[in-house]
Structure 1
Amino acid sequence: MKNIVVLVSGGGTNLQALIDAQKNGKIPNGKITCVISSNPDAYALTRAKENGIGTRVIVPKEFASREMYSKALLEALFQEYADLIVLAGFMTILDQSIIRAYHNQIINVHPSLIPSFCGEGFYGLHVHEAALARGVKFTGATVHFVNEVADDGPIILQQPVAVFPDDTPEVLQKRVMEQAEWQILPQAVNLFCNGQLEVREKTVFIKQ
């Protein structure tokens, strides 16, 4: 059984998708053991507590330096015996020390089809605004392993979502969450917990 630690900063809709998948037996070899938030007011903490999941709050601005914050976060991950770390709307860039300590054990969900509309500055509604401004006919979501470059790690799963002429960023964001993010994030977590993911350089192969 793999210990899953979820890092959050906000509402926690992707966390909820993972909780629901776990409840429905879709992640049989994994268990969400802790939710760590960078924001003490994140509603994701309430979601965790309502489902009997332990929580921690580690706020970056309460530390004198990024290095000290990263050290505290890394210590918390060690204490929770994390096998898999899931970034679910986590608004803090992870330090290299954490990425190295958990090589190919950290996954993130991004609301576009990487390599489109990704990297520094592309988060939340900004991603969907950029997609609409470019006039793409399809967008979607990507689950990938995390490396030292934003949204650059090996891609695990992707799911396309149609874009319609009258879409607003908010409408598109909701569709991408419902039709892509909430679907492929639990799938990727399950594949990891089953030992079905093999990374060769920058390509992920799914073992049957």
Structure 2
Amino acid sequence: MKNIAVLVSGGGTNLQALIDAQNRGEIKNGKISLVVSSNPNAYALERAKNNSIATEVIRRKDYDEFDEYDSAVTELLKSKDVDLVVLAGFMTILGKQFISAFENRIINIHPSLIPSFCGEGYYGLRVHEEALNRGVKVTGATAHFVNEVCDGGPIIIQKAVEIQNGDTPEILQKRVMEQAEWKILPRAVSLFCEDKIIVKDNKTEILD
């Protein structure tokens, strides 16, 4: 049984999707054992407590240097014997030490079909604003491993979502979450916990 830590900063809707999937028995050979927030007021912490999941708060501003913060997060998760880290709306940058310590063991969910509308600065509503501005007919979400390139890690799963007439960034954001993010993130986590993901040359192979 693999220990999963979920890193959050806000409301925790993707965390809730993971908790719901876990409660339905859809995350095989894995369990959410820890939720870490960069924000002590994040509602995600309440979601964790409501489901008897341990929580920790670790704020960037409590550390003078970024390297100290990066080290603190790394050591915290190591001390909890974490096998998989899931970024679920974690709004603080992670450094080389952390990424190296958990190589191919950090999963992020991004609200577009990478490599479209991704990279530095592309998060939240901006992703959906850019998709609508470009006039694409299909968008979606991508679950991927994290490396030192922003949104550049190996892709695990993608799911497409159609853009509809009259969409606003807010409407599109909600549809992408409901139809894609909340479905593929738990699936990617389960695949990892079942040892069904092989990473080679920055690409993944999913085993049957």
Post-superposition Cα deviations, 1:6-39, rounded to whole Å, max 9, x if no partner, equal 0000000000000000000001200000000001
CA distance in 1, matches of 2:157, 2:40: 31
Counterpart in the other structure of 1:114: 114
Counterpart in the other structure of 2:202: 202
CA distance in 2, matches of 1:42, 1:89: 11
Q: Which amino acid aligns with 2:18?
A: L
State the 1:92 CA deviation.
1.1
Relative to the length of structure 2, the TM-score reads: 0.99
Counterpart in the other structure of 1:140: 140
CA distance in 2, matches of 1:42, 1:134: 33
Q: Which amino acid aligns with 1:11?
A: G
State the 1:179 CA deviation.
0.1
> Number of aligned pairs?
208
Counterpart in the other structure of 1:63: 63
Identity %: 63
Post-superposition Cα deviations, 1:99-152, rounded to whole Å, max 9, x if no partner, equal 111110001000000000000000000100000000010000000000001000
Give the root-mean-square deviation of aligned CA atoms. Answer: 0.5
CA distance in 1, matches of 2:26, 2:131: 31
Q: How does 1:16-31 map to 2 (within 5 A)?
A: 16-31=16-31
Counterpart in the other structure of 2:157: 157
SS in 2 for 1:104: coil
Relative to the length of structure 1, the TM-score reads: 0.99
CA distance in 2, matches of 1:133, 1:17: 29
CA distance in 2, matches of 1:76, 1:26: 27
Post-superposition Cα deviations, 1:149-187, rounded to whole Å, max 9, x if no partner, equal 100000000000000120000000000000000000000
CA distance in 1, matches of 2:134, 2:11: 28
CA distance in 2, matches of 1:43, 1:67: 27
Q: How does 1:55-94 map to 2 (within 5 A)?
A: 55-94=55-94
CA distance in 2, matches of 1:152, 1:177: 21
Counterpart in the other structure of 1:178: 178
Counterpart in the other structure of 1:131: 131
State the 1:202 CA deviation.
1.3
SS in 2 for 1:99: helix
CA distance in 2, matches of 1:65, 1:200: 34
CA distance in 1, matches of 2:158, 2:187: 11
Post-superposition Cα deviations, 1:11-69, rounded to whole Å, max 9, x if no partner, equal 00000000000000001200000000001111000000000000000000111011111
Q: Does 1:11 align with 2:11?
A: yes
Counterpart in the other structure of 1:39: 39
SS in 2 for 1:26: coil
SS in 1 for 2:72: helix
State the 1:200 CA deviation.
0.8
SS in 2 for 1:143: strand
Q: Which amino acid aligns with 1:193?
A: C
Flag structure 2 segments of 5+ consecutive residues without an equivalent. none
Q: Which amino acid aligns with 2:116?
A: S
